[in-house]
């Protein structure tokens, strides 16, 4: 087998405009974690190594990252990164947009077996990202998404670890599945994309809502409405780096060191004390994924 540490892929820079790394924000006084990022994807005018990413993050008070996988290679890389760096924990899964291709090749069971094996590693603390995506997948791929999602739910329960849900244009179907088969104890809606009603339903079901940089976007009032009704002990924060860079850096590359921009925005929206919110976010993150130590 190839060395998983060698797996990196470059994000396309074509037609992107300004791909310089934004300046580092002012450090947070109380440290937080980025609970969902894809650090195997190189971005920006000068790609950053994993070590550089983690150092830049630590410099501004972001002391840990949950690295999420989406296929066999990126999940193996995530498990490797977590095993190699004390500031990284891993989530592993076949992404809903990858599941149809594995299924078409007759390899979905085999892929899920790899995820099962990786999930047994001590620093793999979540199954993710899994879920449903009706935006990017054609109708004929939907049955494979459902099959994969339910298999991933079973894996999170089997290993007693958290689950990170990717839900794009599939709110009702995701909630229906969770109600029907039962959600794992610690279930996170990564990059929460619903409205206030959905936030209430998810929080009442005991799920966590993870807000990404798009909560700062002008057209995202639904996310700010959702944030307003989410109990503080259910809120998480993420970058989904290298994507979803928060305002005022929208369109440029994203990385965990930029999460203070989103955290300050959340504090302002909530009318919360910044340090208290950071402490709450950190404690929520550890409650979901366990200790980084």
Residue numbers at the binding site for Zn ion (CB under 5 A)? 129, 166, 240
Using DSSP bridges, classify how beta strands 41-42 and 9-10 pair: parallel, antiparallel or unpaired.
Answer: parallel
Contact status, residue 86 vs residue 48, Cβ threshold 8 Å: no
Kindly state the smallest distance separating residue 36's Cβ from Zn ion, in Å.
6
Closest residue by beta carbon to Zn ion? 166
Residue 81 CA to residue 53 CA, distance in Å, equals 12
Kindly state the smallest distance separating residue 133's Cβ from Zn ion, in Å.
8
- Beta partners for 126? 91, 162
Please say which residue, 173 or 274, places its beta carbon nearer to Zn ion: 173
- Degrees to nearest 5, angle at CA 213 with 37 and 162: 40
Kindly state the smallest distance separating residue 275's Cβ from Zn ion, in Å.
28
Please say which residue, 34 or 129, places its beta carbon nearer to Zn ion: 129
Alpha helices in the chain (DSSP H): 50-59, 72-84, 99-104, 108-119, 142-159, 171-181, 196-204, 221-229, 259-270, 274-289
Kindly state the smallest distance separating residue 162's Cβ from Zn ion, in Å.
15
- Beta partners for 133? 168
Please say which residue, 43 or 129, places its beta carbon nearer to Zn ion: 129
Please say which residue, 134 or 272, places its beta carbon nearer to Zn ion: 134
Please say which residue, 66 or 151, places its beta carbon nearer to Zn ion: 66
Kindly state the smallest distance separating residue 26's Cβ from Zn ion, in Å.
26
Please say which residue, 11 or 279, places its beta carbon nearer to Zn ion: 11
Kindly state the smallest distance separating residue 8's Cβ from Zn ion, in Å.
16
Could you tell me what percentage of the chain is helix, strand and coil, using 3-state DSSP and rounding each to the nearest 5? 45, 15, 40
Contact status, residue 189 vs residue 210, Cβ threshold 8 Å: yes
Contact status, residue 284 vs residue 33, Cβ threshold 8 Å: no
């Amino acid at each position: 087998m190839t060395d998983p540490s060698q797996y990196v892929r470059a994000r396309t820079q074509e037609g992107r405009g300004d791909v310089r790394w934004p300046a580092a924000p002012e450090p947070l006084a109380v440290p937080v974690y980025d609970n969902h990022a894809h650090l195997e994807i190189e971005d920006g005018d000068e790609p950053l190594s994993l070590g550089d990413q983690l150092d830049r993050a630590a410099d501004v008070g972001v002391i840990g990252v949950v690295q999420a996988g989406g296929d066999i290679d990126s999940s193996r890389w995530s498990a490797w990164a977590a095993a190699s760096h004390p500031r990284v924990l891993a989530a592993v899964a076949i992404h809903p947009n990858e599941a149809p291709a594995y299924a078409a090749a007759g390899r979905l069971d085999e892929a899920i077996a790899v995820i099962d094996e990786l999930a047994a590693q001590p620093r793999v603390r979540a199954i993710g990202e899994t879920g449903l995506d009706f935006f990017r997948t054609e109708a004929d791929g939907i049955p494979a998404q459902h099959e994969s999602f339910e298999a991933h739910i079973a894996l999170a329960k089997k290993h007693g670890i958290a689950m990170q849900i990717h839900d794009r244009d599939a709110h009702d179907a995701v909630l229906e599945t969770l109600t029907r088969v039962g959600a794992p104890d610690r279930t996170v809606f990564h990059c929460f994309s619903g409205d206030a009603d959905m936030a209430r339903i998810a929080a009442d079901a005991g799920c966590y809502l993870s807000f990404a940089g798009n909560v700062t976007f002008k057209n995202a009032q639904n996310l700010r409405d959702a944030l307003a009704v989410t109990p503080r002990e259910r809120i998480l924060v993420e970058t989904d780096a290298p994507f979803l860079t928060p305002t005022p850096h929208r369109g440029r590359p994203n990385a965990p060191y930029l999460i203070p921009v989103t955290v300050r925005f959340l504090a302002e929206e909530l009318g919360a004390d910044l340090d208290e919110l950071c402490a709450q976010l950190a404690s929520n993150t550890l409650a979901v994924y366990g200790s980084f130590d």
